[in-house]
A and B are shown apart, each in its own frame.
Chain A
Amino acid sequence: MSEVLNKTELNQWHVDHGGRMVPFAGWEMPVQYPTGPLQEHKVTRESAGLFDIDHMGQIEVRGPQAEAFVNWLVTYDVSKMKLLDAHYALFCYADGGVVDDLFVYRLPDPQVEGQDYFFLAVNASNRDKDVAWVKSHAAGFDVQVKDISDETYMLAFQGPRAPEIMDRLTNVDLTRVARFTAAQDTIFNGVPVLLGRTGYTGEDGFELFLPAEHVLKVWEGILKEGENENIVPVGLAARDSLRFEPCMPLYGHELSPDISPVEARLTFAVSFDKAFIGRDALLKQKLEKPDKVLVGFELTDRGVAREGYPILLEGEQIGFVTSGMFSPTTSRYLGMALVPREHASIGTEIEVQIRKKTTRAKIIKRPFYVPAYRR
């Protein structure tokens, strides 16, 4: 059985530049380029890296009741968002389990003077599910929901040098574009772009949304502009290790229909003082304290704690690993796990079952790497 994989516009570029192509969420994407994921990770932390993330989905919500509708769907109170703000949020089921996590943008509507609309950037693996979820709740609201994933190309440009490199390419003064806000501009002779000063690496930088037909020019143009800063294209492997170190959750690992935002310690993205799907269940969980919570741990002995490995306390299984790997920036073997709240305090000695061996570990403070916007 072979699955027919979607290919991004940059697929041939990746192949031509030694990208090792793998199936991911129904797409054929580069897991790494020839220099390898550790180098891609390091360059992103020290200079900047460019990511093809076109497999991610984008949904527009327009109409007189767009704000009320989005507010009913997502955990964060979008009525607090000003024009060109970007905020992390989640879609939840009524029981508090997670449908997906996303970034919400409030943007000026180019079609109607003085109007604004909402733009939602969602995970590749959940795109169809998310579009169906949003549409299924639209009845009774005066809104139009549109999946614009196909015509919208998404890139991420991340790293401490990314803002200055990007600033050389834009008309807008990017030093005035604060973290978690966005700018609309044109680059490379008229390519319209939405630049969100967000990302998922723990570094400063941008997520770019542009018309798919112009992506090659933009991709190659950014790489060329950053030549002196030695920037590199980055594959999925380093994208995962970069999001892992600042403990940013990944759907299917730290978030799922069985793991709520309260358990995953994401209440910064949950506005309990407004109505939304899942609010009652989440509020109850918050007040009564969740039975299980997400923790970070470090292996005391060497080893790689992969997703799904059992977490033991005095020989008894108490939880499981959600993500684990060798952390390139800290040179430590780290992981995240879901464990009972009573065993979640920092310093607790646990064990991870790695194949036939139990390996000693200790619960440590999260994040493992402090993201740029908190420094």
Chain B
Amino acid sequence: MTVPAGGPTARILDRGYRPYDGPRTGARGAMRSLIRHSVQRVLGLKRNVWTKVLPFLTIFFAYVPAIVFVGVAVLLKDRFATEGVNINDVLPSYGEYYLFIWAAIQVFAAFCAPEVLCTDRRTGMLGLYLASPLRRDTYLVAKAAAVGLVLSIVTLGPPLFMLIARAIAGVGPDGVGGFVAVLWRVVVAGAIAAVLPVAMTLAIASTTTRRAAASAAFILISLGSIVVTEALINAGGSKTLFVFDLPYLPIELVGRLFGEPAGKIGSSSATVPTSSLVIAYLVITVGCALFVRTRYQRIQVTR
């Protein structure tokens, strides 16, 4: 601000508080910010070092097998070739790789959503978020996207890394067509392996404001479903009960996607039709999503 020409000159450099007149990004911008902030929170970015330990340790253990397998492929492919053995027949397939990382997926899922959902309700931030262009649905979509993004670091990242590294090392799929054929399967597999745990962990996290309780509940339900379905099937129950084996259901679907025989990846009990697996997967995922939405429609945000 300056005075008119002819008078004494002056400038005001800092008028203190002023209303914001710039562009507003609306709900989309709010969602983008929320996704970014939530991802940072889960990974412990911009926070003290202890908050980074669990996520980065989990990511490390998820990538180590991929790095090892790629290293073996690169270093020993010629030796295996001289013995007439295809290196890809020795190393785990893309579908089998998920058996190595399912624990990392469970750990990440157990701690992800509670970190981003429970904390907002416990601290009262949910009220502030809903005072922005965000609504309850857009808030949940943003949170689900954030959790999905984080989980895909371990569900999509390692197989993708393996695919690209193998392709570069010359032990990957043949040609562009072959590469793309594997690539889309890797991407879809990563999504399958992530979406169900995301829906489950969000549903559980929506029931409590205590992060640790939500994590404990997720692990109990997850591991408990394995033991219970196995016990019921061994007791003579139908093998279709396998669809309630929540950690292995997506793994088995991933195996089917890569053309693995039924029951090879997920569990020896998983000799159920693929259609049953898909239906169960969708029912559980959608059911969990509806549960979260219903919970959040009813939550009283401010007192």
A pairs with B: no
Which residues from chain B sit less than 8 Å from chain A, CB to CB? none
